[in-house]
Each structure stands twice: as structure tokens, then as C-alpha cells.
Structure 1
Amino acid sequence: MDGRRAEVARTSAAGVALLERHRAARVEELWLDHDLGGDDTIWPVVEVLERAAFEGRPFDVGVIVIHSANPAGAAKMAQALRHWGYRVRAASGSVEVGFLD
């Protein structure tokens, strides 16, 4: 733990709500995982980010870190987000990623 504040959204709906709550704030790091459980994926969150950039009001994100065990999904996310000017870094297999029960 590095002492920074973090918020976790475990579903795409919760992720969209979290983004909207922080719409006016700078987000230093936004960590995204492709597969969220069941049929849920991160794509609704990616679409919110894309739409904001398309409308000329991208979210103020320092870096989007993609951590996913799904290489194809991660690559597609990175491509889409980079297209809209977001800075993206992949962290697949990173020891920095973990879950607390």
C-alpha cells in the first residue's frame, strides 16, 4: 500500500457511476479490468470515456492502467482508449494488482 486513496467498482454500472461522481476531478490513475464476472465487462465504462472525448470533454485522467487476464480484451481496450487520446499502460500479470477479501 502506498497510502493513496482508492475507490473500487466491481461492476460496469458501479464503474460508470464512479466516473460520473468524479467527472470534474483529476484522476491520477484509473485501473480497468476487462472481465468483471458473469457477462459483465468494462465496455460500458470505456464507452463513457470514449463519448466524453468524442464530445471534446475527455475525463482528466493521468494514466489508465489496464490489468486483465484477457489479452485480446485488454488490447482492444487499449486501442480504443489511445484512439481518443488517453494515456494507457498495461499491467497484465502485475504483482501490484490484488484483491482484498
Structure 2
Amino acid sequence: MEVLEQPAFEERRFDIGVINVHSANPGGAARIAQVLRHWGYRVRVASGSTDVGYLDGPAAS
């Protein structure tokens, strides 16, 4: 995320369209989206999607 934050801080934000955040951690995804939106990036969050998982199988509940 620092790769995107630093240029935005220096007023040379990347023109990259929409950033898609995919995470099995809804709280972490929300925080990442919040920070990126603060710097003016367009963000879409896919947290909690059944398409998001772990390499060794589904998360334990």
C-alpha cells in the first residue's frame, strides 16, 4: 500500500482507475479501502466474497 500512498502524499497520485481489494479479512479490507480513498483512489472491496479463500482450503470458523 505504501507504493500507492507515497506518490499520493507527494501529489503525484497514480492514474490507475479502480483498485479492487480482495481479502478474507473484512476489517483489514475496510482499513485498506479507507486509506486508499483518503488519497483519492477509487476502491472496490470484495471482502467476504466466496471467491476469496486460502490456498489450503476454507477458513476455519
Q: Which has the higher strand share?
A: 1
Aligned length: 52
Q: Report the CA distance between 1:48 and its aligned residue.
A: 1.5
What root-mean-square deviation, in Å, do the aligned CA atoms of Structure 1 and Structure 2 show? 1.6
Q: Spell out, residue by residue over 1:21-43, the C-alpha distance to the aligned partner (whole angstroms, 9 max, x if none).
A: xxxxxxxxxxxxxxxxxxxxxxx
Residue ranges of structure 1 left out of the alignment (5+ in a row): 1-45
> 2:46 and 2:28 mapped to 1: Cα distance?
13
Residue ranges of structure 2 left out of the alignment (5+ in a row): 54-61
Does the residue aligned with 2:44 lie in a helix, a strand or coil? strand
Higher-RCO chain (CA-CA 8 Å, sequence separation at least 6): 2
From 13, 16, 37, the equivalent of 1:82 is 37
Among the aligned pairs, what percent are the same residue? Answer: 69
What residue number does 2:17 align with? 62
| TM-score for the superposition, normalised by structure 1 | 0.47
> 2:50 and 2:16 mapped to 1: Cα distance?
20
> 2:50 and 2:31 mapped to 1: Cα distance?
19
> 2:50 and 2:22 mapped to 1: Cα distance?
8
Q: Report the CA distance between 1:72 and its aligned residue.
A: 1.1
Q: Report the CA distance between 1:94 and its aligned residue.
A: 5.6
| Pair member with larger Rg | 2
